[in-house]
Amino acid sequence: MIGILASAALTCKYPKNAFQILIKNQCPIANSFCIIDVPFDVSVNARYRCATAPRQLNPVVNLMNSSQLLAHITADNHLSSGYSNCMLTVFYAPDCVFSSRMAPHLFLLSQVYPQLHIVATDASVHSKLNSRYGIIATPTVLLWIDGNVVSRMDEPPFSIAAFKNYIERWTDLESEYYSGADDENSSVNVIGKFEFSIFNIFS
Q: What is the DSSP letter of 131?
A: H
End-to-end Cα spacing for the chain? 79
- H or E stretch covering 2: helix 2-9
Predicted local confidence at residue 27, as pLDDT: 59
Q: Are residues 201 and 138 in contact, defined by beta-carbon separation less than 8 angstroms? A: no
Predicted local confidence at residue 90, as pLDDT: 92
Domain parsing of the chain, residue ranges: 61-201
Predicted local confidence at residue 118, as pLDDT: 92
Whole-number Å distance between alpha carbons of 166 and 11: 51
> DSSP letters of 139-197?
SEEEEEETTEEEEE--S---SHHHHHHHHHHHBS--PPP-TT-SSHHHHHHHGGGGHHH
Predicted local confidence at residue 190, as pLDDT: 35
In 38-90, which residue ranges form alpha helices assigned H by DSSP?
42-45, 66-78
Predicted local confidence at residue 163, as pLDDT: 92
Question: Of 141, 6, 122, 124, which is closest to residue 68 (Cα–Cα)?
Answer: 122
Q: The whole model's pTM is what?
A: 0.64
Question: Per-block average pLDDT, block size 10, for the chain (203 residues)?
Answer: 52 66 58 48 66 81 87 70 81 87 86 90 79 81 89 86 91 76 42 38 47
Q: Which fold has domain 61-201?
A: Glutaredoxin (3.40.30)
Whole-number Å distance between alpha carbons of 43 and 47: 7
Q: Are residues 127 and 115 in contact, defined by beta-carbon separation less than 8 angstroms? A: no
